[in-house]
């Protein structure tokens, strides 16, 4: 036993631990770097890059690490590449870890709800902002257990470096045992060291999971965000948010007469000139769009004036959501043009097709916001941060101005007391009210609402419709709302546009279309819907 304690404190073995940790650290750090590259290649959408990454994965995941180490240490020198045993072990371990880490990264990223990605894009976030503020924080949380696993397995795999004579813990234990013949005590001590090391990794994993667990009763989203900010400050060596002047106006909303000009924001683009009542806010010209063989729109044209409120009706699958997504270029179409406030979407003023980040900028320039059927709130941040975050990340607002705007809007949608709640701790109706607040926070001039109440339990429909109703009368926004709520459409909308069979089959004043539809498809649709909902509207 005395010998066992002796081995536990023996400098020879302790130095072996240092080398074990060294090889593991090289392997994990190099593996993370190469894994990020591999994951990016696979997610890039470029077929040849994805194929290259997959080829690498097949080779390095499919051959034993010990062969890779021996290859790097013994075979590469024949090609003039010579590294020390330690570096060879680190490089081989990194090369071997990379495909595993890449898969962890990929599954974490792909696991983030697509709706949130869509919402981020609709809010004008370019890809890197989306990755940094929406995808990465959520992906990291889900990846921690797998990373913990990988770190433990890398630690144990580092023992294979003993085969290329790195003096790490396993090699030193073997040497010590063969010189003392005290195999039991030496290997028992060595095993205990490995357990302590892997146990520390598990402890770190538990701590990281706890720190990022937003559902813990003592964790407030605000505090977790502060953790992120702290980590970011540390990484970047400076404050995490640009500090710009607060917005000029306090919390005044635009009036119906002068849409969108009520409060120009510091850092936000100036509203486009020439938008006034009567001007064309949305113009769709001869839009054709196909999904594979299926034609969704065969030459659809539509004009909406500034300040007009249009209800989009139509049977399920008629293209309401697709049309709304075209109006902020979340979809690409086959031919035709979409103009928002005079800007042709997806095309520069010089006529060039815009790339993704330019389209993101254009969404902000033209001032188009969107509310989704399934709310698509950012799940990892509070209601307040859902509104304030995009204002800072995309529009460059100061933290104080953004928080003020968020609080003002939460107040207006009746959720001031739930500002710190996570989306999943809110009811569907409350989530949708936050989503509406988030969409109007940067003061868009056109607001697209895609069946904003369809995913709600019936008792929550009213509260959301009330918020939209107030928006419609107070804000002077141009609104396009796809809905099945006929009574609401009649009450709120100036116009009803009925979509069916790849185009608009009827378009007219709300009251007229709802009460005296001229097209048989409209009339049938309204009859069926009205039977379920309306007493006042009949055909
Ligand atoms: P609505 O909102 O009116 O119910 P959508 O705009 O969602 O209709 O869909 C219109 C049509 O396009 C449907 O037939 C739907 O199946 C099809 N569609 C929508 N999105 C896709 C997609 N990503 N890939 C293929 N088909 C799609
Ligand atoms: Mg739809």
Looking up residue 52, the CATH number of its domain turns out to be: 1.10.3720.10
Token readout for 255 is 């009036």
Q: Is the CB of 318 under 6 A from ligand 1?
A: yes
On whether both 452 and 420 belong to a single domain, the answer is: no
Which ligand lies nearest to the CA atom of residue 501 in the structure? 1
What span, in angstroms and rounded, lies between the C-alpha atoms of 122 and 364? 9
Radius of gyration of the chain (CA): 30
What is the residue with the minimal CA distance to atom 23 of ligand 1? 291
Does any ligand 1 atom lie closer than 6 A to the CB of residue 322? yes
Q: Is the dihedral of CA 20, 24, 27, 33 positive or negative?
A: negative
Q: Please tell me the residue having the least CA distance from ligand 1 atom 6.
A: 319
In a domain, 119, yes or no: yes
CA of 364 from ligand 2 middle (Å) equals 24
Residues 19 and 59 in one domain: yes
Q: Is the CB of 319 within 6 Å of ligand 1?
A: yes
- Phi, psi angle pair for 81, to nearest 5°: -105, 115
Per-residue confidence (pLDDT) for residue 256, from 0 to 100: 31
For residue 502, how many other CB atoms are within 10 A of its CB?
Answer: 18
Q: Hunting for tokens 């919390």 — which residue is that?
A: 251
Distances (CA, A) of 222 to 103, 123, 134, 310: 31, 22, 15, 38
CA atoms within 13 A on the CB side of 385: 19
For residues 77 and 158, membership in a common domain is answered with yes
Q: Looking at the DSSP assignment, which residues form a beta bridge with residue 450?
A: 482
pLDDT in tens, the chain (539 residues): 677 788 788 888 888 889 999 999 999 999 999 999 999 999 888 899 999 999 999 999 999 999 999 999 999 899 988 889 999 999 999 999 999 999 999 999 999 999 999 999 999 999 999 999 999 999 998 899 999 999 999 999 999 988 888 888 888 889 888 888 888 888 888 898 889 999 999 999 999 988 888 777 655 555 555 555 555 444 444 443 443 433 333 333 333 333 333 333 333 333 333 344 568 999 999 999 999 889 999 999 999 999 999 999 999 999 999 999 999 999 999 999 999 999 999 888 888 889 889 999 999 999 999 999 999 999 999 999 999 999 999 999 999 999 999 999 999 999 999 999 999 999 999 999 999 999 999 999 999 999 999 888 888 888 888 888 888 878 788 999 999 889 889 888 999 999 999 899 999 999 999 999 999 999 999 988 877 765 444 43
Identify which of 115, 291, 499 to mutate to test ligand 1's pocket (most ligand atoms within 8 A of the CB).
291
- Cβ count within 10 A of residue 19: 21
Residue 305 in domain: yes
Distance 322 CA to ligand 1 centre (A): 6
Instruction: State how far the Cα of 15 lies from the Cα of 399, in Å rounded to an integer.
Output: 49
Does one domain contain both 406 and 459?
A: no
Q: Which domain holds residue 203?
A: 2-236
- Tell me whether residue 247 is in a domain: no
Alpha-carbon separation of residue 218 from 35, 210, 228 (angstroms): 34, 11, 17
Question: Could you tell me if residue 462 is inside a domain?
Answer: yes
Q: How far is CA 320 from CA 25, 368, 497, 537, in A?
A: 53, 17, 10, 22
Q: How far apart are CA 294 and CA 296, in angstroms?
A: 6
Task: Tell me which of 422, 443, 464 is where a domain ends.
Answer: 443
* Domain total of the chain: 3
Ligand index nearest the alpha carbon of residue 315: 1
Among all bound ligands, the one having the nearest atom to the CA of 323 is 1
Ligand 1 contact, 501 CB (< 6 A):
no
Q: Ligand 1 within 6 A of 373 CB? A: no
Q: For residue 95, which phi and psi values (nearest 5 degrees)?
A: -60, -35
**Distances 513 to 81, 193, 478 between C-alpha atoms, Å:** 77, 78, 20
In eight-state DSSP terms, residue 247 is P
Q: 454 and 427, same structural domain?
A: no
Residues 352 and 497 in one domain: yes
Residue 288 lies in a domain: yes
Q: Give yes or no: residues 112 and 224 share one domain.
A: yes
Number of H helices, E strands in the chain: 20, 10
Of the three residues 415, 443, 471, the one that is the final residue of a domain is 443
How far away, in angstroms, is 317 Cα from ligand 1 center? 6
Whole-number pLDDT of residue 7: 79
Q: Where are the alpha helices (DSSP H) in 123-246?
A: 127-130, 136-157, 169-180, 183-211, 221-236
| Alpha-carbon distances, residue 492 vs 309, 434, 518 (angstroms) | 7, 20, 21
Ligand 1 contact via 320 beta carbon (within 6 Å): yes
User: Is 227 in the same domain as 296?
Assistant: no
**Do 496 and 523 fall into the same domain?**
yes
Cα of 299 vs centre of ligand 2, distance in Å, is 19
For residues 486 and 500, membership in a common domain is answered with yes
For residues 471 and 407, membership in a common domain is answered with no
Residue 105 contacts residue 35 (beta carbons within 8 Å):
yes
**For tokens 């190469």, what's the residue?**
34
Question: Is 483 close to ligand 1, i.e. is its CB under 6 Å away?
Answer: no
Whether ligand 1 lies within 6 angstroms of the CB of 316 is answered as yes
pLDDT score, position 104? 95
In a domain, 248, yes or no: no
pLDDT, position 220: 54
**Boundary-marking domain end, from 411, 443, 475:** 443
Span from the CA of 240 to the centroid of ligand 1 (angstroms): 40
- Residue nearest to ligand 1 atom 18, measured at CA: 291
Q: How many residues does this entry show for the chain?
A: 539
- Ligand 1, atom 7, residue with closest C-alpha: 321
Angle in degrees, CA 502, 504, 509, rounded to 5: 160
Q: Is residue 270 part of a domain?
A: no
Query: Which contacts qualify for 49-54: CB closer than 8 Å, 24 or more apart?
Result: 53/102
In a domain, 274, yes or no: no
Q: Are 537 and 522 in contact (CB under 8 A)?
A: no
Question: 359 with 414, same domain?
Answer: no
Spacing, Cα 321 to ligand 2 middle (Å): 4
Domain containing residue 483: CATH number: 3.40.50.300
Whole-structure pTM value:
0.81
**Cβ neighbours of residue 222 under 8 Å, at least 6 residues apart?**
382, 385, 420
> Is the shortest distance between the CB of 502 and ligand 1 below 6 Å?
no
Query: Which atom of ligand 1 is found nearest the CA of 482?
Result: 2
pLDDT of residue 268: 37
Q: Which atom of ligand 1 is nearest to the CA of 319?
A: 6
pLDDT of residue 44: 87
* Cα–Cα distance measured from residue 278 to residue 281, given in angstroms and rounded to the nearest whole number: 9
Max distance between CA atoms of the chain, in angstroms, equals 100
Please give the Cα distance from 114 to 117 (Å, whole number): 5
């Amino acid at each position: 036993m005395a010998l066992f304690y002796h081995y536990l404190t023996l400098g020879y073995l302790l130095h072996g631990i240092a080398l074990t940790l060294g090889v593991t650290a090289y392997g994990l750090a190099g593996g993370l770097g190469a894994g990020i590259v591999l994951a990016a290649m696979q997610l890039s959408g470029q077929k040849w890059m994805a194929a290259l990454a997959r080829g690498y994965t097949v080779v390095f995941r499919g051959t034993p690490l010990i062969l890779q180490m021996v290859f790097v240490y013994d075979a590469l020198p024949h090609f003039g590449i010579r590294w020390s045993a330690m570096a060879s072990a680190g490089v081989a371990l990194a090369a071997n870890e990379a495909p595993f880490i890449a898969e962890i990264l990929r599954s974490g990223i792909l696991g983030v709800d697509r709706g949130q990605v869509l919402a981020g894009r609709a809010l004008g976030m370019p890809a890197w902002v989306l990755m940094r503020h929406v995808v990465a924080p959520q992906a990291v949380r889900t990846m921690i257990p797998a990373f913990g696993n990988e770190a433990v397995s890398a630690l144990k795999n580092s023992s294979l470096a003993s085969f290329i004579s790195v003096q790490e813990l396993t090699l030193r234990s073997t040497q010590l045992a063969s010189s003392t013949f005290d195999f039991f005590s030496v290997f028992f001590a060595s095993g205990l060291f490995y357990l302590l090391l892997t146990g520390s990794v598990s402890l770190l994993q538990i701590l990281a999971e706890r720190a990022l667990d937003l559902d813990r009763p003592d964790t407030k989203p605000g505090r977790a965000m502060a953790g992120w900010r702290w980590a970011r400050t540390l990484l970047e060596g400076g404050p995490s948010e640009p500090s710009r002047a607060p917005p000029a106006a306090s919390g005044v909303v635009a009036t119906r007469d002068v849409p969108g000009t009520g409060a120009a924001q510091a850092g936000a683009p100036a509203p486009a000139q020439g938008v006034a009542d009567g001007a064309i806010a949305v113009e769709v010209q001869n839009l054709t769009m196909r999904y594979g063989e299926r034609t969704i729109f065969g030459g659809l044209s539509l004009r909406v004036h500034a300040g007009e409120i249009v209800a989009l009706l139509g049977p399920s699958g008629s293209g309401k959501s697709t049309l709304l997504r075209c109006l902020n270029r979340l979809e690409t179409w086959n031919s035709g043009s979409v103009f928002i406030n005079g800007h042709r979407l997806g095309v520069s003023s010089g006529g060039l097709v815009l790339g993704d980040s330019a389209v993101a900028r254009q969404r902000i320039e033209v001032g188009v916001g969107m509310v989704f059927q399934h709310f698509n709130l950012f799940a990892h941040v509070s209601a307040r941060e859902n509104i304030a975050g995009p204002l800072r990340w995309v529009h460059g607002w100061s933290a104080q101005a953004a928080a003020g705007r968020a609080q003002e809007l939460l107040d207006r949608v009746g959720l001031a007391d739930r500002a710190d709640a996570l989306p999943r701790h809110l009811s569907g109706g409350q989530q949708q009210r936050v989503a509406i607040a988030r969409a109007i926070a940067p003061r868009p001039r056109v607001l697209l609402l895609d069946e904003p109440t369809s995913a709600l339990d019936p008792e929550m429909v009213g509260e959301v419709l009330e918020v939209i109703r107030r928006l419609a009368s107070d804000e002077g926004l141009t609104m396009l709302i796809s809905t099945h709520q006929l009574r609401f459409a009649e009450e709120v909308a100036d116009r009803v546009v009925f979509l069916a069979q790849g185009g608009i089959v009827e378009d007219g004043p709300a009251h007229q279309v709802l009460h005296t539809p001229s097209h048989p498809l409209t009339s049938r649709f309204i009859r069926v819907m009205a039977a379920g909902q309306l007493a006042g509207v009949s055909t």
